[in-house]
Amino acid sequence: MPKIFEKDGFTFFFYSNEHYPVHVQVRYGGGEAVFDVEGGVELRESAGMKLGELSKAQRLAEENKALILEKWHEHLG
């Protein structure tokens, strides 16, 4: 489970056996979400995260999109 970055209690990561399209997993507290990253950053699914937490996670993913894409291609090709 390669960790991409952590900020404000949010952990952004992906699993080693991931598949396209490029996406990122986010954990915060007891919740988790998945955001697609190709094109714009879009919420795909979530469980246990409040709307405000999802909004912040999306903003952080958008701010770090280049890093997410770099790490994805570095680890998964």
pLDDT-derived band at 75 (thresholds 50, 70, 90) equals confident
Q: Compute the 3-state secondary structure of the chain and give helix, strand, coil in percent, each to the nearest 5.
A: 30, 35, 30
User: Which residue's structure tokens are 């291609």?
Assistant: 73
Instruction: State pLDDT tens for residues 18-74.
Output: 889 999 999 999 999 999 999 899 999 999 999 999 999 999 999 999 999 999 999
Mean pLDDT of 6-27: 94
Instruction: Please report, for residues 16, 39, 56, the alpha-carbon distance to residue 26 in angstroms, rounded to integers and kept in the order given.
Output: 15, 18, 11
State residue 37 phi and psi, 5-degree precision.
-115, -25
Extents of the domains making up the chain: 1-52
**CB-count exposure of residue 36 (10 Å: 0-12, 13-18, 19+):** middle
